Structure 1
Amino acid sequence: MPAPKTPQKDAYALILEAIDVGLYRPGDRLVESELAERFGVSRTPIREALQRLETQSLLTRDGRSLIVASLDHNQLAELYVVRTELEGLAARLAAKHATPEEVRVLNEMVADDRALLNDPAALSQANKRFHKQIHLASHNRYLVQQLDLVHRSMALLATTSLAVEGRGETALSEHQAIVDAIGAGDGDAAYAALRAHISKAFETRLRRDADGA
């Protein structure tokens, strides 16, 4: 009986995660051979993954090289407009459809994340998990797919607004307000709370960029 095949690693997911966690940052050059060696994947799936990421505008051309794309001011503003609306809708639907178990998980996330206030990088990853949980609690697969696309583009931001002094604690208070509204089944309040949260994050990022941080 033949030995079971080892599952092929998903080159696209591996590269995307590496960008998301900051292993590759905007402007960094991606080389097929180096990626293949790093991730233990053959060059063909790496090449296909790079082509896919370029099609999604997560990578761009610099001469003959592919580099991680960056967002200019207008692209950032456009991204936040879409994110604000879609995230707000997810919160509204979560208030209607989230199970008691999902609400408890969201509450636990907020409580657990307070231990990360002195670690902006870890808090940023926890923040992504929190928002993803709200997306799933909306119980709308098409909305989740669109939000996944938005959050892929968010990976192109080289810094996190949660690194700004005091922002992490404020953000967690905003998270709690969102969860409270979802738990109460108040769709309007959940929508408004999540929109305000994203708006504040955008404002914090703009101030940080203006200060040259």
Structure 2
Amino acid sequence: MSDLKTPQKDAYSLILDAIDSGTYRPGDRLVESELADRFGVSRTPIREALQRLETQSLLTRDGRSLIVASLDHNQLSELYVVRAELEGLAARLAARHATEEEIRVLRDMVEDDRGLTDQPQALSRANRRFHKQIHLASHNRYLVQQLGLVHRSMALMATTSIAAEGRGRDTITEHDAIVDAIANRNEEVAYQTLKDHISKAFVTRLKLDSGAVKSVGD
């Protein structure tokens, strides 16, 4: 029997994952040679990946250097408006199309995440998985693609709103309500509940950025 090998990620995915995980943060300079050494790939695919990320506005120019882009207040507001509408639509469609198995997975995710409320980075990763599962449960490939673009841009935020004190517990409660609406096949409630969830996350982010609330560990 032949061995099954795990497919290797390409340079674009490797750099994107590093930005998403916070290895590279807004303002950090990306250097071809350093990236090639870090990921063990040649400089040509690294160069092509950097060009692609620049085209997608995830990287920006600082003189001759490429740095990880950051979002100003207006860009952040615009991103959350689009995210709220698309996420709400995903929840609406999930309430219509999700299989019982997909709903079971969502419920299990919420239960598993209850123990992460005081671990903002771990809960942030779990939160992305939860939302991704809702996207897939919408059974609309074009919506999944658009939400993928939105979440790529979300990686340009230096901190997670879940880091605010109390936000972790609130996030789990809100996720629970979203899954209930999807399980009950209530499309309008699912849509509005998820939109409200994104709105609350945006308010928390604005407070974090203004220093009006403390982050976990402060």
TM-score (norm 1): 0.96
- Give a deviation string over 1:142-164, Cα, whole Å, max 9, x none: 00000000000000000001010
Counterpart for residue 55 of structure 1: 55
The amino acid of 2:81's aligned partner reads V
Number of aligned residue pairs: give it: 210
Counterpart for residue 139 of structure 2: 139
State how far apart, in whole Å, the 1-side matches of 2:10 and 2:54 are: 16
* SS across alignment from 1:104: helix
The gaps in structure 1 that reach 5 residues or longer are none
Shift in alpha-carbon separation, 1:35–1:90, aligned structure 2, 3 A: same
Give the drift of 1:9. Answer: 3.7
The answer as to whether partners of 1:26 and 1:69 remain within 8 angstroms in 2 is: yes
* SS across alignment from 1:50: helix
- Give a deviation string over 1:23-48, Cα, whole Å, max 9, x none: 00000000000000000111000000
The answer as to whether partners of 1:90 and 1:138 remain within 8 angstroms in 2 is: yes
Matches within 5 A, 1:116-135: 116-135=116-135
- Give a deviation string over 1:63-121, Cα, whole Å, max 9, x none: 00000000000000000000000000000000000000000000000000011112100
Shift in alpha-carbon separation, 1:191–1:7, aligned structure 2, 3 A: closer
Counterpart for residue 186 of structure 1: 186
The answer as to whether partners of 1:26 and 1:70 remain within 8 angstroms in 2 is: yes
State how far apart, in whole Å, the 1-side matches of 2:118 and 2:65 are: 37
Matches within 5 A, 1:1-213: 9-211=9-211
State how far apart, in whole Å, the 2-side matches of 1:196 and 1:45 are: 41
Shift in alpha-carbon separation, 1:116–1:54, aligned structure 2, 3 A: same
Give the drift of 1:6. Answer: 9.5
> Identity, % of aligned pairs?
77
- Give a deviation string over 1:38-64, Cα, whole Å, max 9, x none: 001110000000000000000000000
The answer as to whether partners of 1:9 and 1:41 remain within 8 angstroms in 2 is: no
The gaps in structure 2 that reach 5 residues or longer are none
TM-score (norm 2): 0.94
Q: Please provide the CA RMSD for this pair.
A: 1.5
- Give a deviation string over 1:174-203, Cα, whole Å, max 9, x none: 000000000000000000000000000000
State how far apart, in whole Å, the 2-side matches of 1:6 and 1:65 are: 34
* SS across alignment from 2:60: strand
Shift in alpha-carbon separation, 1:23–1:189, aligned structure 2, 3 A: same
